[in-house]
Amino acid sequence: MAVVEVPTRTRQWALACAVFVVTAMAQRLYWIAGGRWGYTACDRTDLVDPAGGCGADQVVALPFWSGWGAVGVGVALAVVLACTVRMPGSWTTTGSWAAAALLLVVAFPLHLLFEIPAALAGRPSDWRDLGARLALVAGGVLFAGLANTSGPRRGPVAVGYRPVPRWTRRWAYVAVALPVVGWAVPHALWVLGVPVGISERELNDIEQNLSTPTGVAITLVPPLAGLLVLGLVRRWGQQFPRWVPGLHGRQVPRRLAVIPAGVVALTLVTYGVLSIAVLVGELLTGDTRWSDVWDGWADAAMTDLPGSEHP
């Protein structure tokens, strides 16, 4: 069997990924043994205030996914890492990309957009929860770097603008329009005092607990981030536009175009899947009835407003 030489950059990314996996597994084993340093019992599926803390100092029983379940995921990541290094190819590279996506998704990046600015502004926050999810983001970036360097070698990027297929442009426009229609419009109406999809009581809670700058940020950040996806199909996503000093006409690096757009896509998809999962769970347990869905169609989004009392 021929030995495949691993490029130096791939080995460096693999070493960084190994440090991340070993550190994360050691921490989980420490929690299993009874230690609680750095532990937070935060359930992002039932979070009232995304800008606040949700830690727990005293935990009697460690949840499965915080203990042995996380260790099992760490073992799976270690297997993916070993296969990527020893047997580089399309399948192992796909595994590394999947590992990166998993770590970024479970970090709940949409909440980080709210929690980090709030913490920097002095709002009480849980450093354990924030630090743990930032570590997951770092792990996702490391595995993405490993996948990028272990994949097949690409040829040089063609200079100039290359039009994309029409169907690709249409999907990109849909990806940009959904956050605007489904997120920005209702949140903007709530900030303006219009009770669309929520009750007057819930609107009063928003007006009492939500500052204007926070409301504007919550309304604008997701759709503005969604514009990055549009750059994948527009000229300014391949060539720097005229108004960029010193870079006019130069080719936009692939990673600069793809990575931010990919992170945004994962963030928005995670929020959508999470909202649907919460709604389905409430329907199955009987906490919510189908007749209540239409009257309170915006309740899931209410949980993302700081100060909301909605469960």
**pLDDT tens, position by position, 95-110:** 998 999 889 888 877 6
Compute the Cα dihedral for 283, 297, 188, 306 and give only its sign.
negative
Long-range contacts of 37-42, Cβ-Cβ distance < 8 Å, separation of 24 or more:
38/128, 38/131, 38/132, 39/66, 39/128, 40/126, 40/128, 40/129, 40/132, 41/66, 42/126, 42/129
Asked if the structure places residue 63 within a domain, the reply is yes
- What would the mean pLDDT of 216-242 be, rounded to a whole number? 79
What pLDDT does residue 143 have?
93
Residue 81: which domain range? 8-38+53-150
User: Residue 72 — pLDDT band, cuts 50, 70, 90?
Assistant: very high
Indicate whether 140 and 14 sit together in one domain.
yes
Asked if the structure places residue 160 within a domain, the reply is no
What pLDDT does residue 280 have?
77
Indicate whether 242 and 187 sit together in one domain.
yes
**pLDDT tens, position by position, 19-59:** 999 999 999 999 898 888 888 776 554 444 444 445 555 56
- 23 token code pair: 């550190």
In whole angstroms, give the CA distance from residue 93 to residue 263: 18
What pLDDT does residue 4 have?
53
Tokens 């409430």, located at residue = 282
Indicate whether 144 and 170 sit together in one domain.
no
Asked if the structure places residue 238 within a domain, the reply is yes
Examine the pLDDT at 154 and tell me if it is beyond 50. Answer: yes
Indicate whether 60 and 27 sit together in one domain.
yes
Indicate whether 297 and 207 sit together in one domain.
yes
Asked if the structure places residue 2 within a domain, the reply is no
Q: Please, are residues 10 and 150 in contact by the beta-carbon 8 Å criterion?
A: yes
Indicate whether 67 and 172 sit together in one domain.
no
What pLDDT does residue 3 have?
47
User: Residue 194 — pLDDT band, cuts 50, 70, 90?
Assistant: confident
Examine the pLDDT at 138 and tell me if it is beyond 50. Answer: yes
Indicate whether 125 and 228 sit together in one domain.
no
The pTM of this model reads 0.66
Indicate whether 206 and 273 sit together in one domain.
yes
Indicate whether 111 and 181 sit together in one domain.
no
Indicate whether 127 and 256 sit together in one domain.
no
Asked if the structure places residue 308 within a domain, the reply is no
Asked if the structure places residue 157 within a domain, the reply is no
Indicate whether 177 and 245 sit together in one domain.
yes
Asked if the structure places residue 145 within a domain, the reply is yes
Alpha helices for the chain (secondary structure H): 8-32, 68-86, 90-106, 109-120, 127-150, 166-179, 185-191, 200-209, 212-230, 254-285, 290-295, 299-302
In whole angstroms, give the CA distance from residue 303 to residue 53: 14
Pick from 150, 185, 216: which residue ends a domain? 150
What pLDDT does residue 1 have?
43
Number of domains in the chain: 2
What pLDDT does residue 47 have?
46
Examine the pLDDT at 166 and tell me if it is beyond 70. Answer: yes
Asked if the structure places residue 275 within a domain, the reply is yes
Indicate whether 139 and 187 sit together in one domain.
no
- The secondary structure of residue 296, as a DSSP letter, is T
